[in-house]
Structure 1
């Protein structure tokens, strides 16, 4: 894609809007995407605002009100199933934790959003796709990378890559247009079915940050009290299929597990992530289902796969994670690595059991369908010793017989 096709500033956006018939903008209903709608409305071009629901509690009424205010057509797509099947499931199998610290999240959701954006843009004949990531957000390279890899040939990009207009300025511009509900910059959040993550505001400085308790949703103790501390997760060929013996679709299983494990305060993470230029930013996350599904999967594959295969898989996992994090989701290398990992899932059948307590999940059972673990070590040692002794006697007895024969 020639660099001239990329939208990187508000000036680029205005130029593109003045020369395009139809623009698709990725729309969350937040300050940045609403400000883009305002800019496009001033240009007078046809605009479609696309919202992809990946499990973050989309407010249809708010989205419709803002889109209508700026004369944009609103399309809301339910992307939860695709997100679960095409992104979360392979992430479980690839043990997708950033540097082993916390589950990756936007690295998974952004390619799915880009897929729907490119699909809708082609369907509607849009000349451009606009998103709103900026220099301090890794979504910039993930969205741009995915749109490029998907072969979109129109203009695309974010006007905030080079135009660092302040939040206060955007609020004032939208307030003048009658939209007064946007607030001054505080903690910024991004949520989906897999993870809720937060940055900025009181989280800006890693040397001294403060996390408001009200920030969390899934990991709050429910007013109705704690659920059963006993929890089991069943897998079939590397796929989570049941929770406490009840078969569930993957989306439903993740949603329920977020609430069940989260009620015990399980799944809170804090850690640094690198930007494209190498700088580090702090993020706080809650991901109860991710925490337990990743751990359960690792235990079950350890119970069923050869040690050498597992050692090689560890290195392949890091390749998978790197390609996802760096915005190369639709590249050949990630697909090739995923093919390797997919081959290892065939034997990963069984149930993993936990006992939950505040802030922790204690492993209390691994029941693999085709295990390679021992269930009775003493019996195994007796059998192994007996077999070894029998072989020794057979070998050395034959040697003695041969020696006697030679002497005679």
Structure 2
């Protein structure tokens, strides 16, 4: 690692990555390239440019990747209805492969022989960044300062910053947020401090995006989402780009108190971790996508997707987005979506989202067969007797055996 000449750093401009930048220059005596991505976190990222310049950085990458993130990462994941351990919509997990991909691409563009990230040695993100990076460039070197240095407290980080003249925002000097947070187009997460005791309820002041259900709008809000081949393309008949869909749904969900989650999850590295999440738009979209699938997917195809979904979600959570098994599953999932086209009507009200209608030109729902009225011979009810008897044959055999 001492032979490293140039490294691309995933850089936010905050305390941690500002310290990492200087630490890399000192520890490895190398040139540093900074990469700052706007993936819809809702914060101004341009200040990172000036901070990088002050640190003597010559190659500075600041990019808006919202559209790429929504179209090529979030949308494919939502075609699978992916949720981890029954609840988590994978907001942090799905952002990491995109960042890793750009780190590798920028390394190639600038002739860098290493990349660096600010993920800790206890979390999932170190795994996600590095597995995805190695899948794209097996020869890349990865520097993870949190696994190397002794700056393992905020006090030590602040002391390092003061010693080296690194500008620190007042919010960091005062301790900053009581939580470790990550935000992007899909969600915002909270971990640490008060939340480390899983019996502590989340503080009302913690939530940044959504109203509480109690304080949400008193009137229900209706909306319709139009799908083409499994992806949302319009809301209330207004065509939107992928990132615009999420911006709109996030606003709807936020004002209606939708998308809060308090979860203890099993990290890939082996520990349990308590986190809280706000995923307003994603919660609405998942409900709508399952609704349009309910009338457009064959029963066995739908059930097969549901059986494969936990495996697919686990691959994303653990950092295997660019692994061949995820790509193979994606091919199958995308094939199932060719007729998932139509419109879903929903109502949002005080923390809940309900489907109130769905329609599709490819609907497999046959009113003539499903009706409780006279179906005109579309379905011969007498056929059910033989169906039941054939399915009961083994059960009757088992029952007689037990009786004997």
TM over 0.5: yes
Distance 1:362 1:45, change over 3 A: same
Consecutive unaligned residues of structure 2, counting only runs of 5 or more, are: 384-404
Distance 1:214 1:273, change over 3 A: closer
Q: Which residue of 1 aligns with 2:315?
A: 323
Q: C-alpha separation between the residues in 2 aligned to 1:322 and 1:60?
A: 31
Contact 2:220 2:349 in 1 (8 A): no
Instruction: Pick one of 146, 151, 154 that aligns with 1:167.
Output: 154
Larger CA deviation: 125-134 vs 28-37? 28-37
Q: C-alpha separation between the residues in 1 aligned to 2:192 and 2:86?
A: 23
CA drift of 1:220 comes to 6.6
Alignment of 1:9-408 (within 5 A): 16=2, 19-42=3-26, 44-72=29-57, 73-163=59-149, 165-176=152-163, 177-181=165-169, 182-183=172-173, 184=175, 186-219=178-211, 229-375=221-367, 379=371, 382-383=374-375, 385=377, 388=380
CA drift of 1:192 comes to 0.6
CA drift of 1:69 comes to 2.4
CA drift of 1:212 comes to 3.6
Contact 1:136 1:275 in 2 (8 A): no
Larger CA deviation: 261-270 vs 114-123? 261-270
Contact 1:22 1:128 in 2 (8 A): yes
Q: C-alpha separation between the residues in 1 aligned to 2:210 and 2:129?
A: 27
Q: C-alpha separation between the residues in 2 aligned to 1:51 and 1:353?
A: 38
CA drift of 1:208 comes to 1.8
Q: C-alpha separation between the residues in 2 aligned to 1:146 and 1:269?
A: 27
Q: C-alpha separation between the residues in 1 aligned to 2:141 and 2:247?
A: 36
CA drift of 1:274 comes to 1.8
Corresponding residue pairs, total: 374
Q: C-alpha separation between the residues in 1 aligned to 2:141 and 2:378?
A: 73
Distance 1:302 1:389, change over 3 A: closer
Name the TM-score, length of structure 1 as normaliser.
0.85
Q: C-alpha separation between the residues in 1 aligned to 2:351 and 2:153?
A: 38
**1:199-249 Cα distance to aligned partner (Å, 9 max, x none):** 11211111224334353224479x997887111111011110111111111
Larger CA deviation: 358-367 vs 59-68? 59-68
Q: C-alpha separation between the residues in 1 aligned to 2:82 and 2:191?
A: 20
Contact 2:219 2:349 in 1 (8 A): no
**1:12-38 Cα distance to aligned partner (Å, 9 max, x none):** xxx63xx33221111122222111111
Distance 1:123 1:178, change over 3 A: closer
SS in 2 for 1:382: coil
CA drift of 1:307 comes to 1.1
CA drift of 1:118 comes to 0.2
CA drift of 1:65 comes to 2.9
Q: C-alpha separation between the residues in 1 aligned to 2:50 and 2:379?
A: 77
Q: C-alpha separation between the residues in 2 aligned to 1:224 and 1:197?
A: 20
CA drift of 1:384 comes to 5.5
CA drift of 1:180 comes to 3.0
Q: C-alpha separation between the residues in 1 aligned to 2:75 and 2:382?
A: 48
Contact 1:300 1:366 in 2 (8 A): yes
